Amino acid sequence: MFRICSFFLFVFTLAGGAPSGPADWIWSARYVITEDAQRRVIENGAVAIRGDRIVGVGGKAEIDKRFEAKQRLDRPDAILAPGLINTHTHAAMSLFRGIADDVRLQDWLEKYIFPAEAKNVSPEFVRWGARLGCLEMLLGGTTTFTDMYYFEDVVAEVAKEAGMRGVLGETIIGFPVADAKTPADALQFTERYLTRFRNDPLVVPAVAPHALYTNSDATLKAARALANKYNAPLIIHLAETKKERDDALSQRHMTPTKVLDTLGVFAGRTVAAHCVWVNEADMAILKARGVGVAHCPSSNMKLASGVAPVVRMLALGINVGLGPDGPAGSNNDFNMFEEMDLAAKLAKVTALDPQVLPATTALEMATIRGARVLGMEKEIGSLETGKRADLIMVRLDRPNAVPLYGAISQMVYALKADDVRDVMVNGKPVVRDAKILTLDEKAILAKAQEYRARVSASLK
Ligand SMILES: [Zn+2]
C-alpha cells in the first residue's frame, strides 16, 4: 500500500500535477520544435516517452527532474521535431526510379509506367520496392507515409517490418492489373486487406480508387461504400492535369471535383492528391466535405501539371499536407525536406509574393496539417503529451546548418533529408546515427540493382 501511495505521489505531485515518473526514453536537443497549439520552439528542450506515447515535453532541466528514463539520447547540436508526414506516395515504384523522365503525365503513364507495371509487378516486386521506399523515407525523417499501390497488403507487412506508420491504400483501377483482373476482384482483394489490418498499431488500411478517369462511376461508388463499411479512408488522385479537367468538362459538363462529389465519393474521410485544376466552387466542395489535400509540388513541377492553389485552400481552411508522389518519373525521390522547401517557393513565385507561404506554414504542412489531412491529428503531427512518439533528430553541425537564427527557417530552407540523424516511430528507435535499425540496407540496395536489370530486359 505504501509503495502504491508513494508511486502515486511521485507521479502526480512533481511539476504541479503534470505527468511524471518512469519513462522509457528521454530525447533532448538544442531546439525542440513542438508544432503544438502555441507552436512552441523550446531551446534546450526534451521529450519523455513511455511505451508508444509522449509523456512529457518541456525544458531539458524540467523533463530530467520529472522523469526517470531507462535510456536517453542527448543531442546538444540538433533539432528535435515531430516525424514528417508524407500524405501521398507510391513507395514500391522506387524500383522504377528514373525509368522515364521529362515526359507528360499521360505519356508517362500509358507508354512507360502501365506497361512496365504489367510486366513486373508481383508481391515480391512490391515487397522490395516498399522496403527501398521505407528505407529512404525513414532515413530522411518521414515517419508516416500515405501510399497507394497494388498488393498493398505486402506494403503493410513491410511498413510493420520497417517500424514505420502508414495509411496504405489498395489501388482500384478499371483495367486488369497484377493483383486484380477486374474492379470487382480489386474490391474483394481490398475488403480482405481491410479486414486483415483493422486495428493495427502502425497501419491504417485504406481504399484507393486510382482516379476519376481510370474508374467507372459504379466502381467509385463501391469504393466509397467499402471504405465506409470499415471506417477506412479513401485515397484518390484528383484534378491533377488540365487534360483531366478538360475531359470531365467536355464529357460530363462538370469539373472532376464536382463529378466525384455528385457520385458521393467524398461522403467519408478522403485524401485527394494534387488538386491542381480546382476552381472556387471545387474548393468550396473540398472544404464542405472535409477532404484533405495532398499537395505534391515536386511532382506537379516535374510533370508540368500546373500549380495547385494551395494558398487559397489554406485561406479557406482546407487541410493541406505534402507528398513527394511517385519516384518513377514524377519526382524521383521521397524527400520531404525538398517538398517543404518547394511548397514554399512555388507558392511565392506563382504569387510574386514572398509572404504567401512562409516557412512556418510549410513545416506545418509536413507535420500537424498533414496529420489533419489523414484525420490523425489527435495521434500524430506534433510533440505533445499523449500523442504517439514519432520523433526525428536533425543534426546542426554541418556547413548548411550554421549559423542558426531560426530553427523553423533552418528546417525548411537549409536542412536536408541527409541531416536526419535519429528517428523514433511509435516509441521505438528505427534510425540511429543515420543508420537504419530495422531493415537490411545492403540487401535492399542489391535487390534494387537486380530489379533494374529485370525491368530493363522486360521492356525490350
Ligand atoms: Zn500519385
Provide DSSP, 70-113. EEEEEEEEEEEEEPEEEEEE-GGGGGGTTSS-SS-HHHIIIIII
Query: Where is average pLDDT lowest: 292-296, 321-325, 326-330, 383-387?
Result: 326-330
Q: Is the model's pLDDT at 177 over the cut of 50?
A: yes
Average pLDDT over residues 125-146: 98
3-class secondary-structure state, position 20? coil
pTM of the model: 0.95
Checking if the pLDDT of 12 tops 60, the result is no
Distance 148 CA to ligand 1 centre (A): 7
Mean pLDDT confidence for 112-132: 94
**For residue 90, how far is its CA from the centre of ligand 1 (angstroms)?**
6
Sheet strand arrangement including 21-33: 53-59, 41-50, 21-33, 67-82, 391-395, 420-425, 428-432, 435-436
Mean pLDDT of 192-218: 97
pLDDT at 31: 98
The predicted structure's pLDDT at residue 17: 63
More confident residue, 112 or 48: 48
pLDDT band of residue 14 (cuts 50, 70, 90) is very low
Q: 264 CA distance to ligand 1 centroid (A)? A: 22
Q: Kindly report which listed range (48-52, 56-60, 74-78, 108-112) carries the lowest average pLDDT score.
A: 108-112
- Rounded mean pLDDT of 110-118? 88
The CA 450 to ligand 1 mean position distance, Å, reads 25
Mean predicted confidence (pLDDT) in 60-73: 98
330 DSSP 8-state letter: S
Please list all protein residues whose beta carbon sits less than 5 angstroms from ligand 1, which is an ion: 325
pLDDT at residue 105, rounded to an integer? 80
CA of 2 to the centre of ligand 1 (A): 59
Task: Using pLDDT thresholds of 50, 70 and 90, give the confidence band for residue 329.
Answer: confident
Quote the CA–CA distance of 313 and 391 in Å, as a whole number.
Answer: 28
Length of the chain: 460
> Which residue type sits at 127?
R
Q: How far is the CA of 96 from the centre of ligand 1 (A)?
A: 14
CB 117 within 8 A of CB 300: no
Confidence (pLDDT) at 109 = 83
The whole-number pLDDT of residue 16 equals 52
Whether pLDDT at 1 is above 50: no
End-to-end Cα, the chain, rounded Å = 76
pLDDT of residue 13: 43
Distance 292 CA to ligand 1 centre (A): 15
CA 179 to ligand 1 centroid distance, Å: 18
Cα of 415 from ligand 1 centre, angstroms: 25
* 107-126 burial: b if 16+ Cβ within 10 Å, else e: ebbeebbeebbeebbeeebb
For 379, left (φ over 0), alpha (ψ -120 to 50), or beta? alpha
CA separation, residue 429 to residues 15, 50, 70, 390 (Å): 27, 13, 14, 9
pLDDT band at 459 (very low <50, low <70, confident <90, very high): confident
Report how far ligand 1's centroid is from the alpha carbon of 201 (Å): 25
- How far is ligand 1, taken at its centre, from the CA of residue 153, in Å? 18
Grid cell of 190 as nine digits: 481490398
Q: Is 423 helix (H, G, I), strand (E, B) or coil?
A: strand
Asked if the model's pLDDT at residue 139 lies above 60, the reply is yes
pLDDT higher than threshold 70 for residue 7: no
Q: How far is the CA of 127 from the centre of ligand 1 (A)?
A: 19
Q: Are 142 and 85 in contact (CB under 8 A)?
A: yes
Using the mean position of ligand 1's atoms as its centre, give its distance from the Cα of residue 252 in Å: 24
Average pLDDT over residues 27-35: 98
Instruction: Answer positive or negative: Cα dihedral of 314, 319, 324, 330.
Output: negative
412: pLDDT strictly greater than 80: yes
5 pLDDT exceeds 70? no
15 pLDDT more than 70: no
316 CA → ligand 1 middle, Å: 24
The pLDDT mean for the chain works out to 95
Tell me how far apart the alpha carbons of residues 338 and 317 are, in angstroms, rounded to a whole number: 24
